[in-house]
Amino acid sequence: MRVIITKNEQEMGKLAGQYLLGVMLSKQDRVNVSITAGKTPKEVYKYLIEEVKGKEYLRHVHYYNFDEIPYVTEDKPGVTMRDLTKMFFAPAEIDKENIHPLSEHNYAEQDEKIANAGGLECMLLGIGVDGHYCGNLPETTKYEDKTVKVMFTPAIKERVSVLYENKEEVPDYHVTMGPTSVMAARQLILIANGKHKAEIVKEFLEGEISRKYPATILKMHPNLTVILDEDAASLLGK
C-alpha cells in the first residue's frame, strides 16, 4: 500500500487523475477502468476531461460504474450513471460504446462480462465517513460477495432519498460490486479529502480490518494507492 498526502483537494484530484491516465496509457490493448461518482472525484475529472477529450489514442479505454441506485418509476439510467455522465462522460465526450453501465437488470452477469473483457485494470474509489466503499455499506455485504443486490434498511433508504427529486422514485435496494469483485481489480486508487474524512481515514489506515468499516478490507489488496489531502490526513499518527 502506498499513501500519498497532497496539499489540497486540487492537488489530490490532479495526482489521482495522473495515476488513472497512466493506467489508460499503460498498454494499447483494451483497458477497463471502474470509476466513482460523488463529490470527492470532482477535481479528478476536471483534470481528466482535458486529457481524454478527443484523444483517439484512448479509444481502447472502457469505463464501468461499480454501483447503481435505480429509479423505481422510470426506466432510465440510475443515480450513479446520471452523475458520472454529468461529471465526466458527457464533457469528456466518451463514446457510448465504451461505457458499460451496471444496473439492476444486468448485475448478475457483471463479473463474468468483466472477466471476459480482460478484467478491471484499475478502480478509482472513494471512502464514506461511515467507512463504506462502492455500495458496500457497514454490515451489508460479506467478504465473499461478488456483484450483488443489497436491500436498504429504512435508515439507509432515508439517506439515499436526498439523491432524488421525487421521493416516489427511491428504490428499496441498490446493486454493487462486492469485496471479491473489487479485490479482483489489478490496481486500486482510493481518494479522500476534507477534515470531515479525517476520522475515517485514520480508522482505515491505522485500525483493524472489520465489517464495521467495510473499506478496511481494501488494505489487503496488493496494489493499493491512497491519495489524501492534508485535511483528510490531519489525524494520522495522533
Catalytic residue set: 67, 130, 132
Output the CA torsion sign for 48, 127, 209, 144: negative
In terms of C-beta density within 10 A (0-12 exposed, 13-18 middle, 19 or more buried), how is residue 4 classed? middle
d(C-alpha 213, C-alpha 87), whole Å: 28
d(C-alpha 192, C-alpha 177), whole Å: 20
Checking DSSP bridges between strand 173-177 and strand 67-68, what pairing results, if any? antiparallel
If you search the block for the grid coordinates 463514446, which residue do you land on?
95
Helix (H, G, I), strand (E, B) or coil at 128: coil
Comparing C-alpha atoms, which of 78, 60, 15 is closest to residue 41?
A: 15
Helix (H) or strand (E) holding 155: helix 154-160
Q: Is 31 within 8 Å of 121 (Cβ atoms)?
A: yes
If you search the block for the grid coordinates 472525484, which residue do you land on?
41
Q: What does the radius of gyration of the chain's CA atoms come to, in whole angstroms?
A: 17
Helix ranges, the chain (H) = 9-24, 42-52, 79-84, 110-116, 154-160, 179-183, 198-206
